[in-house]
Amino acid sequence: MVRKQIIILDADGLVVKKPNKRFSERYARDFKVEVPMDKIRLFFENEFPLCLEGKADLKKVVAPHILEWNWPKSTDELLNYWFSGDSELDIRFKDAIIRLRKQGKLCYLATNNEKYRTEYLVRKLQLSELFDGIFSSCYLGAQKSKRVFFELVHEKLGRPAKTDVVFWDDDRDNINAATAFGYESHFYTDFTEFENWLKLNFKEFSSRQ
């Protein structure tokens, strides 16, 4: 039975449930407005990635778009609306993380997020209490699809044996980067698969206690 000591989990799509609708679709439905999808798409393709790597401030880059998106309120209210729709904790992961840490395993969150949403999730979901640490792209200056992200994470972990680290994510590019760095990496498809991996690798999960 392989004894991994450090487990790194993706946020959105794993620990944080994936929303049923994208922000733009939810916005159009809730406020019954015609959203310029092409303009929103261009924002997320061009400006938002800079926020994810801490190279731009989301509040500053989104503010000029408020009028063209037909948003009638403030920038802060827009971000609160945006974040509140993508912030449901998956209780199954919470239970698994708590059990892993009770057995002496270290559990970390790795996320591609800009600073305001990172802070929002940490505060609302009490992630600092749930995890041993949080690695967000906005603070590391790189996204998970880049090798440098994992180089920086490895340094912050204290340079453990790479064979002691396992990484779970639902993005192939992130998995490829982690694998190339030397971590055992698993592409997440559903919780049953993750649960089966826990049972295979940790005897504490082979039967409910």
Q: What is the pLDDT of residues 35-62, one digit of tens each?
A: 667 777 888 899 999 999 999 999 999 9
> CA-CA distance, 55 to 148, in Å (whole number)?
16
Sign, Cα dihedral of 181, 52, 94, 192: negative
* Confidence at residue 113, expressed as pLDDT on a 0 to 100 scale: 97
**Residue 3 CB neighbours (<10 A):** 10
Query: Residue 126: CA atoms inside 13 Å, Cβ hemisphere, count?
Result: 5
Exposed/middle/buried for residue 46 (C-beta within 10 Å: 0-12, 13-18, 19+): exposed
Which segments of the chain are extended strands (E)? Answer: 6-10, 106-111, 133-136, 165-169, 184-187
The pTM for the full model equals: 0.92
Phi, psi for 137 (deg, rounded to 5): -55, -30
pLDDT digits (tens, 9 = 90+) for 69-122: 888 889 999 999 999 988 999 999 999 999 999 999 999 999 999 999 999 999
| Structural domain spans, the chain | 6-18+88-205, 23-84
133-136, strands of its sheet edge to edge: 133-136, 106-111, 6-10, 165-169, 184-187
Statement: residue 209 has pLDDT above 50: no
Say if residues 152 and 183 touch (Cβ distance below 8 Å): no
DSSP three-state, residue 108: strand
Is 6-18+88-205 CATH 3.60.21.10?
no
Q: Which residues contact 192 (CB under 8 A, 6 or more apart)?
A: none
> CA-CA distance, 91 to 17, in Å (whole number)?
9
CA distances from 139 to 91, 118, 136 (A): 26, 10, 6
Sign, Cα dihedral of 189, 49, 145, 93: negative
Say if residues 26 and 19 touch (Cβ distance below 8 Å): yes
* Least reliable range by pLDDT among 17-21, 32-36, 60-64, 174-178: 32-36
